Amino acid sequence: MSYVFQFSTVWREFDHLLLGAWLTLRLSALAMIFGLAVGIAGAQAKASSSRLLRGLVQGYIEAIRNTPFLVQLLLIYLGLPSLGLRLTPDQAALLAMVVNLGAYATEIVRAGIEAVPKGQIEAGRALGLKPWQIFRFIVLMPALRTVFPALGSQFILVMLASSVVSVISAEELTAVTDTIVARNFRSFEFYFVITGIYLVMSLAFQALFAGIDRALFARWADHA
Amino acid sequence: MRDRMGRLLGFAVALLASIAITAIPYRASAQTVDDIIKKGKVVIGVNTTTPIFGLMGKDGQPEGYDPDVARLVGKYMGVPVEFVSVTGANRIPYLLSGQIDMVIALFGITPERALQVSFSIPYAVEAATLVGPASRQVKTIDDLKGLRVGVPRGAMQDLILTPIAQEKGINLMRFDDEATDLQALISGQTDLAGTGLLVNRTLNRNDPGKDYQVKLVLRELHFGIGVRRGSTDLLQWLNTFIYTIKNDGELDAISRKWRELPLENLPVF
C-alpha cells in the first residue's frame, strides 16, 4: 500500500497557513527593525574610546555568533525566569531574534562605517556640521548603502530562523503547520506548500529591500 | 538578461530534482515479519523525552517502559533492535516513509490515527492529564479559563483541548515535545502542563516543594504498537507477542520497574 498525495487537505487549511505566514512576516519585520537599531548602536559602541564598552560589545557578538539560535531562544524563554524575567513566547521569540540579528548587524554595520572615507568626515567637520549630523548624513547613510546587500541577506536569514520558535510555543507559519499536520498527518503536502510560502516571502522581502535601496540611497550614489 | 534566465532555469531544475528525490522514498509498503528478519534488524521508533515511558539513558541508549518492550520485540523476533528517537509529531511520518518498522512511543490508540496506521492490542495504559502545582485549584475544564496550559503538539491533550480552547478561554500553548512542555511548567511559563498519570512523581523529584499533582484526567488511553496499514502479518505477530508477555509476567515486570505499579487488565480488540 503506497502513499496517496492529498493536496486538497492543504487548500482546505490555506487560510490558517496564510495566518501563519502573516505572523511570520510580522515577527520578522519587527525583528529586522529592532535588530538593525541594535546593530547601529552596537557599531557605534565598537567605535567608542571606552575599552570596556568595546569589550562588552565584542563579547556579545562572539556569544551570539558562536552559539545556535535555538539554544539562545530556549535560554531566553526557559532560562530567564530563574533570574526573575518571565516573557511570553511571542516576546521571547522577538527578543531572541533581535538579540541574534543585532550581533550580526553590528558587525555588518561596523564594516560599512569603516568603509566611509575619512576625508568625508573631515570635510563634514570643516563645514561645521555637528557630530550627530556628521553621523547621520556622512557616515550612517553611506555605510548602510554599502552594506545593504549583506544586511538584506542577514534579515532574510533571521526570517527563516523564525521557523524554530515553535519550540517555545510561539505561533508562526511552521508552528501552525506542525499543529495541522499533527492532526491529519499529511506531512509531505503541507511542508512542501509552506516551503513555497517561505520562498515567496523571502523573494518579497528581497524585492522590498531592492525598492528601499533605490528609493533611499539613490542620493548617496558614488559620484567619484 | 541571459544570466537571469540561466539562474531561473537552474533554480527550476533544483526544485524539480528536490521534489523528485523527496517523492520517491515516501512510498513505503506493508511489511511482513520475514521482511524484518531478512533485513537483520528491527528499527523501532521510541520517544526519548518522556519520563517513565522513554528517556535517553546515561549510556546513550533509550530506557523506559517502551524501550524495554521494544527490546523484548527484538528478543522474540531474534534480531537486534535499532532505536530511532521520535516525537509525537513525526512518529507517523517516520513510520509511513519507511524510516522505522514500528512505533513504540506512547502511541495512544485512536480511530483518527488508525486511518494512517494499524495498532496492536494495548500493551500499556495511561491517561492524558493536566498536571500543576498543589497551589493551583483546578477541578473541571471550566476552571481552566484564563490559564496558560502547555501541551505537546499533536498529543491527546492538544487534540482534546484545541477545539474548545477558544470558547473556554484557555490560553493553549503548544510545545514541540513533552520535555519542553514540562520545562515550561517548572520555569513558571505555564500554569498547567499536559502529560501522563505518573509524571508528577518525576517533577516532584526534580523541582521539590511545589507538590505537583494530576489536576485533570482528560482521557484514559491505551498505548499500542503502530505499524503501517496492510501489514497484517506483522500485526498478528505483534498481537501474539503482547499476549505472551502479558501472560508470562514480563510485561508486569516492566510495569513494576518503571511505573512502580502492577500491570492493569488491558483490553484487547
Q: What is the pLDDT of residues B216-228, one digit of tens each?
A: 999 888 999 999 9
Tell me if chain B has a CB within 8 Å of the CB of A179: yes
Residue B77 is placed in which grid cell? 523476533
Largest Cα span, chain B: 75
| A76-105 residues touching B, CB cutoff 8 A | 77-79, 81-82, 86, 89
| B48-87 residues touching A, CB cutoff 8 A | none
Q: Which pLDDT value is given to residue A219? A: 67
8 A C-beta contact, residue A219 and residue A137: no
Tell me which of A71, A185, A189 to substitute to probe the interface with B (most B C-beta atoms closer than 10 Å): A185
The span from the CA of A64 to the CA of A71, in Å, is 10
Arithmetic mean of pLDDT over chain B: 90
CA distance B231 to chain A (A): 9
Helix (H) and strand (E) counts in chain A: 10, 0
Tell me if chain A has a CB within 8 Å of the CB of B92: yes
Q: Which residue of chain A has the CA closest to B26?
A: A3
Q: Which pLDDT value is given to residue A221? A: 59
**Residue B135 DSSP SS3:** coil
E-assigned strand segments in A147-211: none
HSE of B239, CA atoms in CB hemisphere, 13 A: 13
Q: What residues contact residue A27 under an 8 Å CB cut-off, 6+ apart?
A: A90, A93, A94, A97, A162, A165, A170, A172
| B227-256 residues touching A, CB cutoff 8 A | 228-230
Amino acid code (one letter) for B119: F
The span from the CA of B4 to the CA of B10, in Å, is 10
- Give 10-residue mean pLDDT values along chain B (269 residues): 74 70 57 92 93 90 96 96 91 92 94 92 94 92 93 88 92 90 92 90 87 91 94 96 96 94 92
CA distance B98 to chain A (A): 11
Q: Which pLDDT value is given to residue A47? A: 86
Percent share of chain B, pLDDT over 90: 65
In this complex, do A183 and B188 lie within 8 Å of one another by their Cβ atoms? no
In this complex, do A3 and B228 lie within 8 Å of one another by their Cβ atoms? no
Q: Which residue of chain A has the CA closest to B148?
A: A88
Q: Which pLDDT value is given to residue A202? A: 95
Tell me if chain B has a CB within 8 Å of the CB of A219: no
| Span A3-51, pLDDT tens digits | 677 788 888 889 999 999 999 999 999 999 999 999 999 999 998 889 9
Q: Which pLDDT value is given to residue A48? A: 85
Q: Which pLDDT value is given to residue A220? A: 62
Measured in degrees and rounded to the nearest 5, phi and psi for residue A127 equal -80, -5
Q: Which pLDDT value is given to residue A3? A: 64
CA distance B150 to chain A (A): 8
| B99-138 residues touching A, CB cutoff 8 A | 112-113, 116
Q: What residues contact residue A168 under an 8 Å CB cut-off, 6+ apart?
A: A73, A74, A77, A78, A89, A92, A93, B175, B180, B184
Give A49's DSSP letter.
S
Confidence class of residue A223 from pLDDT cuts 50, 70 and 90? very low
Tell me which of A6, A169, A200 to substitute to probe the interface with B (most B C-beta atoms closer than 10 Å): A169
**Burial bucket for residue B25 (CB in 10 Å: 0-12, 13-18, 19+):** exposed
Tell me which of B29, B171, B181, B187 to substitute to probe the interface with A (most A C-beta atoms closer than 10 Å): B187
| Span A105-160, pLDDT tens digits | 999 999 999 888 889 889 988 988 888 888 888 888 888 888 999 999 999 999 99
Measured in degrees and rounded to the nearest 5, phi and psi for residue A170 equal -75, 140
Q: Which whole number is the average pLDDT over A86-91?
A: 92
Q: Which residue of chain B has the CA closest to A182?
A: B154
The span from the CA of A188 to the CA of A163, in Å, is 17
In this complex, do A192 and B19 lie within 8 Å of one another by their Cβ atoms? yes
